[in-house]
Amino acid sequence: MVKYFSTRGGGSAVSASEAVLKGLAEDGGLFFPDHIPALTKSLKELSEMSYQDVAYEVMRLFLSDYTEEELKNCIRNAYDSKFDTEVIAPLAYAGGAYYLELFHGATIAFKDMALSILPHLMITAAKKNHIKNDIVILTATSGDTGKAALAGFADVEGTKIIVFYPKNGVSPIQEKQMVTQRGENTFVVGIHGNFDDAQNGVKKIFGDKEFGKLMEESGYQFSSANSINIGRLVPQVVYYVYAYAQLLKEGKISDKEPVNVVVPTGNFGNILAAYFAKNMGLPIAKLICASNENKVLFDFFRTGIYDRNREFVLTSSPSMDILISSNLERLIYLIAGSDAEKNKELMMQLSMSGKYEITTKMQEKLQDFYGGFADEAETAKMIRSLCDDCGYVIDPHTAVAACVYEKYKAETKDGTKTIIASTASPYKFTRSVMRALGKDEGEADDFVLADRLSELSGVKIPEAVEGIRTAPVLHDTVCEKGEMADAVRRYLGI
């Protein structure tokens, strides 16, 4: 049975269901499995399975205290008609790479892949652990997590969800998706600040022992839907295994043939899931970490120095506008030889001075990774060239990945077949996409642009966009970044 420990060494081992419930370890660390289990089914066997069956074969290895019935029930409730394709995560070939489309869920972004199952994992975990309190999901979003979490937890009995987002740091459609969210248990707050401010505010509330005591007295307890929750990370491992299995099934690759994986990266969870898949035995050669102009991860992979002391850039790929990549802590812990003290020391340096430097020995363990970045002009050019050359339209986050992949090929001459994680529908960022295609006429709103994009691409507008076109705004609370705890207290009435 896999047990989970804090990356900072505090507390004792917990079960998978306890780690899912807690979200964050009590010492501020992230939960990490005592070992990364190996796949028990062959790649050939996996290639004959549906997405749901692959999900079970991967997730049961990590979530080992869930019974077969419990886990299969969670999977069945998650990966259903909420997705607009039965295959859940299809692959599209364009421009010499396989695009893994992770945006066919209810909110047209990759966060749906994990956040459609997290509420079910959490409610099951609460029952298993005899939790009587209502669970309050407290999360910060750079655009996509918020709506996907809101959609997942809306009206789920025994839960409330509070989402903070940077008021001027998400796309108009991302904001409209959140502020029109229905559900008696949902609460959305814009803050005057950026995503890192929102994330730091959430972490501060989680770490406030007095607040925790007040919550307990009021019949509540916090948990997280952010990508730091192991219940978010484990489901993300699934789609890399599934993608490889599908390429094998279709004869695009041979059994055990290595592939590269490119991921547009902000908080590091999505690419970390690919690294977990590699450690489980999936034949991944290079993990290509693509950053936008907030290239803190690019600099880290080149120098071994993580430094968030820099200008924060608002880009057309807002879900990657992040300077503190929370999930990187799990990789640091791993390359430090699971040395919690060393990891804790580095995280303390990050907290105090905004930077840390890993040892040469740790840096040598990063050979599986390649860091690259694309600026705004390069991102727009990539969207246009892929559309012109292949008739395939991608969003700005995916374009960052595609651009970095082109740079990687030019630098390394590596011809390994490659999967690019396509993390959002172009309809989520219509203005940026249409501007890149030279079709933004300035005065049109994002929904008019969606109509024009549909005409241009021949792809139907997703229900996630159509459904909010005329939806009323239900959440209009805005606060300063220092007032987040007050907003939580007011909403919960404590």
* Catalytic positions, written as ranges: 111
The amino acid that residue 294 corresponds to is N
Please name the amino acid found at residue 333. Y
Task: With beta carbons less than 8 A apart as the criterion, state whether 402 and 143 touch.
Answer: no
Angle between helices 328-335 and 340-353 in degrees, nearest 10: 140
CA distance 179 to 167: 11
Q: Strand, helix or coil at 294?
A: coil
Contact predicate 422/99, CB 8 Å: yes
Judge whether 328 and 268 are in contact, CB under 8 Å. Answer: yes
Residues 282, 362: contact at Cβ < 8 Å? no
- Per the rule left: phi > 0, alpha: psi between -120 and 50, beta: everything else, 401 is alpha
Going by their DSSP bridges, the two strands 284-291 and 259-264 should be labelled as: parallel
> Which of 272, 240, 257 shows the shortest CA–CA distance to 366?
272
Contact between 284 and 132 under an 8 Å Cβ cutoff? The reply is no
DSSP string, 141-180: -SSHHHHHHHHHHTT-TTEEEEEEEETTSS-HHHHHHHHT
Please give the full DSSP string across 49-68, using - where no structure is assigned: S-HHHHHHHHHHHHSTTS-H
Amino acid at residue number 374: A
User: Strand pairing of 4-6 and 305-307?
Assistant: unpaired
Q: Strand, helix or coil at 373?
A: strand
What the block records as the tokens of 456 is: 């241009």
Q: Return the structure tokens found at 374.
A: 């694309």
**How far is it, in rounded angstroms, from Cα 206 to Cα 221?**
10
Distances (CA, A) of 441 to 60, 254, 380: 50, 47, 16
